[in-house]
Amino acid sequence: MRQTILAVFVILIGYAFVYAIQKETEWIKFTTPEGRLSLLLPHEPKLEVVSDPTNAKLTHNRFSEFEDGYAFVYRVFR
C-alpha cells in the first residue's frame, strides 16, 4: 500500500514539474487570404504555391508551420 501511495506521489510531482517548466507563448491569429479559415497559431505559417502535375490550371496554396512537437499544414485547392 505504501509503495502505491509513493508511486502516485512521485507521478504527481513529476507532472507538476513538467507543467511548471512549460513556457507560455504569444499566439497570433492567422486568416487565409480568402478569409475561409481563421485560427490561432504560435508562429506565422509559410505560404507555398504548388501546381498540380496532372492539371496545370489547378494550383494548391499550402500554408505550413513546423515547430518542435507539432506541425500545421493547410491546403487550398483551386
* Residues 46/64, Cβ–Cβ less than 8 Å: yes
In the predicted structure, residue 43 carries a pLDDT above the cut 70: yes
Q: 1 pLDDT exceeds 80?
A: no
CB 45 within 8 A of CB 33: no
Residue 15 identity (one-letter amino acid) = Y
Residue 71: half-sphere exposure toward Cβ, Cα within 13 Å: 2
Cell numbers describing residue 60: 494548391
21-36 pLDDT, tens digit each: 656 678 889 888 778 8
- Which burial class, exposed, middle or buried, applies to 2 when counting CB atoms under 10 A from its CB (0-12, 13-18, 19+)? exposed
